[in-house]
């Protein structure tokens, strides 16, 4: 039950398309991310990716983040093998019925505090699979989601600038708390 | 003093008779156990008294049979073994009160109580017997009463088979003992041990050799030396657990006691080769015992194999003692004999503790297969702790008693390595190497036994339903667990007393031992090595307390969240994925494949036998060859049956033929009488 009440209580933020489109210079975004990760995470952000039945388009884009052009490992962002090591969950896909239980378990296995990001239109509301019997129409129906990155699929650049946006919001919040 | 002993015998006799009287009423079945408890308590007090006063009691009751005297002789050595018997019989009988209730519906507890008390009486009488014929008489009572305890669950075919193996082996052993006593009678003219002792030196060397070998085989079979050990795993696993604990903890020690008594007291000044033989038998028994224990998945058979291992360790002490005696180094011999005697006491305590623990587990799970246990530490926490104490003690780890006696055995073996002769040196090195190896493997085996039984998750529905056993069972196990610790920490006190027993043997009169205890520490060979158990115990306790304290201080403010194991989102973590006892010991079995000769059989059934892609079922059968049965006992058995088949041919059933036999016999006798 606590999981359902948490789903209702956690604020869900959709990263606005306007912000994504505004920033398209890779170097500026990357410098921003590097600074924020140093400040917020001590230089290391561990991400666990969960595929809940996506078309693999989002995975391709996430994988592109680690190629030589974007190379996010420079800033201390890693994709890790176990949710036990993760700070952030990135969930792709519309959540097929068979993956719902596994997703819940992954969420529970991730240590607090955790950030859950739904990546792609499928993960936001089911996308092109919406209304099908086999899917649960979005990650927020199963676990609490903090942020949603739109796009079908979001490009690597989109994901990167959304990440900066997310980090900025978290930073603002932590600053508010301190005051 | 002596009256106390006879009272104890009387109480036990009373227990056995009353047990038969009340056999109809299952509610009164505890009465005989109470009698055996009381009887063993009296014997315990008597033996402590006899040890304190260092007195030797001798009584002879003549009977109307020639040569057959009921002759009791209680010297400090016998008193020490009476102490062992009664010390184990007391908690075992207490355990039996509750434990036997599970058999009340199906079997007759009155008969059990009868044989149980008779068994205790015979144990006490065997130790005190000082006349060979009388000794054989009580020895037979001991064997037969324990046989009836072994086949108590007589509705199971497997148990009858175990009892049969025990029956044959124990009587083969008695035959050898009888042969040695008859030879002694032939050359000394008496069955009295005292007379034998005086005249033994006059026996020819060859006959002496035969007598020694017969005794090693006869008493060794009872003690469970390799290769005459095959009855132990069968008998110990068949009997009810507290009887197994008595048989393994005490009865096989009677074989050891007789070896000590014969070689050190009755037939002193043994030749050097006897020491070699005993030491090598000890080394081989210890290592093969522990190896077979590793491959065993039946918890009681596993413990039985460990008895063989520990008998080996005791014989290492006795063997090196005999070698030192032959080398005229009595002070070192005293050290080795002390080590052997102390290990006898220690093994009795921790092995009966382990058998009682195993019995508690079996009474809850109704199986002896350790692959079906698991997770019992949460359901039976006290049993788990007591079993762990026993396991640590038998693995020879401080601060428990097994460590001290194994340390002493090592010290005596090391002193032997320091001798000049290259042959003796190499034999001692062999013994020390075997003992080292045995210690490591024993620890590995008990990691398996404890880990698979008590840790992880339950592997069967039966073990999920287990609950903690009744307080009486816990008290009897707890007493033995406390004894394990006390005998370890206060070993300086125990060893001082065992030294007095050793000194009381005429062989060591007015000799000083190379083992001495000053204050609370033990010293070997004038400070070559010391051991200070109380300090070791304190240091361990302080370190354990410190580490717990540190962990508490560090993690005091941290929040602890209990979650299920991360299984990659699968929903199917099952106990089948845990490490099994088979898997744990498989590596070691493969390393020693020369001894085990492991076999592996794959049986695959295919959906379509022509297209071998999809299998319907796969079965893997792992097995090991029991080399003694395969290469010693089966050929012996087959040979005997072939010979008997040949002999049967002369029985034709034709009267004329029998008349011919009589005629030939008569002719033969006439010729024999003529020349």
| Percent of chain B residues topping a pLDDT of 90 | 52
**B504 Cβ partners below 8 Å, 6+ apart?**
B54, B56, B75, B76, B77
Task: Note the pLDDT of residue B445.
Answer: 93
Residues of B engaging A, defined by a Cβ cutoff of 8 Å: 563-564, 566-567, 569-571
Identify whether A121 is part of a domain.
yes
pLDDT of res. B641: 93
Measured between CA atoms, how close is B617 to chain A, in angstroms?
27
Phi, psi of B623 (to 5 degrees): -150, 160
Contact B567 A103 (CB under 8 A): no
Average pLDDT score over residue span B507-534: 80
Quote the CA–CA distance of A123 and A146 in Å, as a whole number: 12
The domain in which residue A122 lies consists of 3-14+41-174
- Per-residue pLDDT at A1 exceeds 60: no
Nearest CA distance, B558 vs chain A (angstrom): 13
Interface membership of A110 toward B (CB under 8 Å): no
| Residue in this structure with the two tokens 């001991």, named with its chain if needed | B142
- Asked whether the beta carbons of B289 and B307 are under 8 A apart, the reply is yes
Looking at every residue in chain B, the average pLDDT score rounds to: 89
- For residue B605, the 8-state DSSP code is E
8 Å CB contact between B340 and B409: yes
Chain B residue numbers with beta carbons less than 8 Å from the beta carbon of A108 are 563
Q: What is the average pLDDT across B579-597?
A: 86
- A159 in a structural domain: yes
Residue B394 CB neighbour total at 10 angstroms: 30
How far is the alpha carbon of A109 from chain B, nearest alpha carbon, in Å?
7
Contact assignment for B569 to A106 by CB distance below 8 Å: yes
Going by pLDDT thresholds of 50, 70 and 90, the confidence category of residue B86 is very high
- Locate the DSSP E strands across B11-165: 57-62, 69-74
pLDDT digits (tens, 9 = 90+) for A46-78: 999 999 988 899 999 999 999 998 888 888 899
Rounded Cα distance, B14 and B521, in Å:
45
Nearest CB partner across the interface for A83, out of B564, B566, B571: B566
Q: What pLDDT, on a 0 to 100 scale, did the predictor assign at position B668?
A: 94
Quote the CA–CA distance of B151 and B158 in Å, as a whole number: 10
> How many other C-beta atoms are found inside a 10 Å radius of the C-beta of residue A170?
17
Pairing of strands A147-149, B57-62: unpaired
Longest CA span, chain B: 105
CA–CA gap between residue B641 and residue B122 (Å, rounded)? 35
Q: Does the bond joining B227 to the residue before it have cis omega, within 30 degrees of 0?
A: yes
Residues of A with Cβ-Cβ distance to B563 under 8 angstroms: 108-109
- pLDDT > 90? residue B526: no
Q: What are the distances in angstroms from CA B218 to CA B181, B206, B239, B252, B344?
A: 11, 18, 23, 12, 19
- Closest chain A residue to B565, measured at CA: A109
Examine the pLDDT at B136 and tell me if it is beyond 80. Answer: yes
Is A30 within the bounds of a domain? no
Burial class (CB in 10 A: 0-12, 13-18, 19+), A57: middle
Question: Can you give the pTM of this predicted structure?
Answer: 0.87
DSSP B220-254: HHHHT-TTS-THHHHHHHHS-HHHHHHIIIIIHHH
Subunit contact A108:B563, Cβ cutoff 8 A: yes
Residue B327 near residue B428, CB atoms below 8 Å: no
| Residues B563, A103: C-beta atoms closer than 8 Å | no
Say if A102 is an interface residue toward chain B (CB within 8 Å).
Answer: yes
pLDDT at B559 > cutoff 90? no
Rounded CA separation B95/B89 (Å): 10
Contact B569 A102 (CB under 8 A): yes
Contact list, A99 vs chain B (CB under 8 Å): 569
The pLDDT tens digits for A74-108 are: 888 999 999 999 999 999 999 999 899 889 889 98
Q: How confident is the model at residue B251 (pLDDT cuts 50, 70, 90)?
A: very high
Interface test with B, best of A102, A103, A107 (most B CBs within 10 A): A102
A151 touches chain B (CB under 8 A): no
Burial class, B458, CB count within 10 angstroms (exposed 0-12 / middle 13-18 / buried 19+): buried
CB A176 within 8 A of CB A44: no
Mind listing the pLDDT tens digit for each residue in B476-492? Answer: 999 999 999 999 999 88
Residue A6 has pLDDT above 60, yes or no: yes
Residue pair A40/A178 in contact (Cβ under 8 Å)? The answer is: no
Q: Is the separation of the CB atoms in B438 and B409 below 8 Å? A: no
Question: How many contacts, defined by CB atoms under 8 Å, are there between A and B?
Answer: 19
- What's the 3-state SS for B273-291? HHHHHHHHHHHHHHHHHHH
Q: Give the per-residue pLDDT at B617.
A: 85
Residues B371-401 have pLDDT tens digits of 888 889 999 999 999 999 999 999 999 889 9
Q: How far is the alpha carbon of B622 from chain A, nearest alpha carbon, in Å?
A: 36
Select the residue of A82, A99, A101 nearest B566 (Cβ to Cβ). A82
Whether B301 has a pLDDT exceeding 90, the answer reads yes
| A80: in domain | yes
User: How far B391 CA lies from chain A's nearest CA (Å)?
Assistant: 35
Residue A114 lies in a domain: yes
Beta-carbon separation of A84 and B566 below 8 A: yes
Contact map slice: A 76-95 vs B, CB within 8 A = 82-84
Asked if B569 and A105 come within 8 Å (Cβ–Cβ), the reply is: yes
Residues of chain A contacting B570 with CB distance shorter than 8 Å = 102
Q: Which residues in chain B have Cβ-Cβ distances shorter than 8 Å to A110?
A: none
Q: Do B569 and A84 touch (CB under 8 A)?
A: no
Task: Report the distance separating Cα B627 and Cα B227, nearest Å.
Answer: 10
Res. A24: pLDDT tops 70: no
- Which residues lie across from B620 on neighbouring strands? B602
CATH number at residue A108: 3.40.50.12280
Asked if residue A102 belongs to a domain, the reply is yes
User: Quick check: is A105 in a domain?
Assistant: yes
Count CA atoms closer than 13 A to B320's CA, side-chain side. Answer: 38
Candidates A105, A110, A142: best to mutate against B (most CBs of B within 10 A) is: A105
Close Cβ partners of A16 (under 8 Å, ≥ 6 residues apart): none
pLDDT digits (tens, 9 = 90+) for A163-177: 888 998 899 888 888
- Output the pLDDT for position A19: 74
- The rounded distance, in Å, linking the Cα atoms of B221 and B231 is 9
Displacement of CA B102 from its chain's centroid (Å):
26
The domain tally of chain A equals 1
* Coil/strand/helix, residue B391: helix
Q: How far is CA A29 from CA A66, A77, A164, B343, in A?
A: 15, 14, 7, 75
**With contacts defined as CB-CB under 8 Å, which chain B residues touch A86?**
none
Question: Looking at the complex, does the CB of residue A103 fall below 8 Å from at least one CB of chain B?
Answer: yes
Chain B residues with beta carbon closer than 8 angstroms to that of A83: 566
Q: How far apart (Å, rounded) are the C-alpha atoms in residues B91 and B96?
A: 9
Write the pLDDT tens digit of every residue in B329-362: 888 899 999 999 999 999 999 999 999 999 999 9
Helix/strand/coil for B25: coil
Instruction: Assess if residue A51 is contained within a domain.
Output: yes
Half-sphere exposure in the Cβ direction for B574 (13 Å, CA) = 4
């Amino acid at each position: 039950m606590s999981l359902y009440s948490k789903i209702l209580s956690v604020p869900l933020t959709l990263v606005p398309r306007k912000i994504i489109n505004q920033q398209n210079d890779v170097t500026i975004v990357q410098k921003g991310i590097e600074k924020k990760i140093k400040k917020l995470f001590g230089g290391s952000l561990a991400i666990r990716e969960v595929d809940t039945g996506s078309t693999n388009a989002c995975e391709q884009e996430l994988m592109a983040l680690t190629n030589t052009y974007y190379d996010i490992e420079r800033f201390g962002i890693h994709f890790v093998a176990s949710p036990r090591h993760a700070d952030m969950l990135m969930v792709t896909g519309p959540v097929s019925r068979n993956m719902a239980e596994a997703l819940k378990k992954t969420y529970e296995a991730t240590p607090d505090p955790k950030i859950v990001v739904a990546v792609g239109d499928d993960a936001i509301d089911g996308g092109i699979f919406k209304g099908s019997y086999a899917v649960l129409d979005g990650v927020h129906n199963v676990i609490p989601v903090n942020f949603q990155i739109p796009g079908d699929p979001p490009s690597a650049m989109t994901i990167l600038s959304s990440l900066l946006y997310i980090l900025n919001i978290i930073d603002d919040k932590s600053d508010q708390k301190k005051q | 003093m002596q009256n106390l002993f006879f009272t104890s015998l009387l109480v036990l006799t009373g227990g056995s008779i009353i047990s038969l009287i009340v056999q109809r009423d299952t509610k009164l079945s505890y009465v005989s156990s109470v009698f055996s408890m009381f009887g063993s308590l009296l014997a315990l007090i008597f033996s402590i008294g006899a040890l304190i006063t260092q007195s030797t009691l001798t009584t002879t009751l003549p009977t109307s049979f020639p040569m057959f005297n009921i002759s009791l002789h209680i010297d400090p050595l016998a008193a020490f073994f009476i102490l062992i018997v009664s010390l184990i019989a007391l908690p075992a009988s207490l355990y039996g009160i509750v434990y036997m209730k599970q058999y009340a519906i199906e079997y007759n507890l009155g008969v059990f109580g009868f044989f149980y008390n008779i068994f205790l009486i015979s144990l006490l009488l065997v130790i005190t017997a000082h006349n060979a014929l009388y000794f054989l008489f009580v020895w037979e009572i001991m064997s037969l009463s324990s046989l009836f305890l072994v086949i108590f669950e007589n509705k199971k075919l497997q148990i009858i088979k175990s009892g049969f193996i025990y029956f044959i082996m124990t009587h083969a052993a008695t035959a050898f003992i009888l042969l040695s006593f008859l030879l002694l009678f032939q050359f000394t003219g008496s069955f009295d041990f005292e007379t034998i002792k005086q005249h033994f030196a006059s026996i020819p060397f060859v006959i002496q050799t035969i007598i020694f070998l017969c005794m090693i085989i006869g008493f060794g079979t009872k003690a469970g030396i390799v290769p005459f050990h095959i009855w132990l795993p069968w008998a110990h696993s068949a009997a009810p657990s507290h009887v197994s604990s008595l048989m393994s903890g005490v009865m096989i020690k009677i074989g050891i006691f007789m070896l000590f008594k014969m070689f050190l007291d009755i037939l002193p000044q043994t030749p050097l080769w006897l020491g070699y033989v005993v030491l090598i038998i000890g080394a081989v028994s210890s290592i093969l015992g522990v190896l077979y224990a590793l491959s065993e998945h039946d918890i009681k058979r596993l413990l039985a194999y460990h008895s063989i291992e520990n008998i080996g360790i005791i014989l290492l002490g006795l063997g090196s003692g005999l070698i030192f005696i032959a080398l005229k180094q009595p002070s070192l011999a005293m050290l080795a004999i002390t080590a052997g005697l102390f290990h006898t006491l220690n093994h009795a305590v921790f092995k009966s503790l382990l058998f009682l623990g195993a019995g508690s587990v079996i009474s809850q799970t109704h199986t002896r297969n350790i692959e079906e246990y698991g997770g019992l530490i949460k359901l039976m926490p006290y049993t788990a702790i007591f079993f762990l104490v026993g396991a640590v003690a038998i693995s020879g780890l401080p601060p428990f008693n097994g460590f001290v006696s194994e340390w002493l055995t090592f010290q005596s073996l090391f002193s032997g390595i320091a001798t000049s002769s290259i042959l003796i040196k190499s034999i001692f090195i062999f013994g020390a190497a075997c003992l080292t190896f045995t210690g490591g493997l024993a620890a590995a085996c008990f990691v398996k036994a404890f880990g698979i039984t008590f840790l992880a998750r339950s592997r069967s529905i039966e073990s999920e339903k287990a609950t903690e056993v009744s307080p009486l069972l816990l008290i009897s196990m707890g007493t033995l667990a406390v004894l394990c610790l006390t005998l370890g920490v206060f070993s300086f006190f125990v060893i001082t007393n065992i030294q007095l027993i050793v000194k009381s043997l005429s062989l060591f009169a007015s000799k000083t031992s190379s083992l001495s205890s000053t204050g609370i520490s033990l010293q070997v060979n004038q400070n070559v090595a010391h051991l200070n158990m109380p300090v070791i115990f304190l240091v361990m306790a302080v370190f354990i307390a410190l580490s717990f304290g540190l962990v508490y201080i560090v993690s005091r403010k941290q929040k602890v969240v209990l979650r299920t194991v991360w299984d990659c989102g699968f929903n199917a973590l099952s106990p089948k994925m845990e490490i099994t006892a088979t898997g744990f010991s498989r590596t070691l079995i493969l390393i020693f494949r020369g001894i085990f000769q492991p076999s592996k059989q794959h049986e695959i059934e295919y959906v379509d036998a022509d297209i071998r892609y999809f299998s319907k079922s796969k079965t893997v059968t792992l097995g090991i060859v029991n080399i003694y049965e395969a290469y010693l006992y089966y050929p012996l058995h087959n040979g005997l049956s072939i010979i008997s088949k040949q002999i049967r041919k002369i029985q034709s059933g034709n009267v004329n033929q029998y008349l011919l036999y009589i005629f030939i016999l008569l002719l033969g006798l006439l010729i024999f009488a003529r020349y």
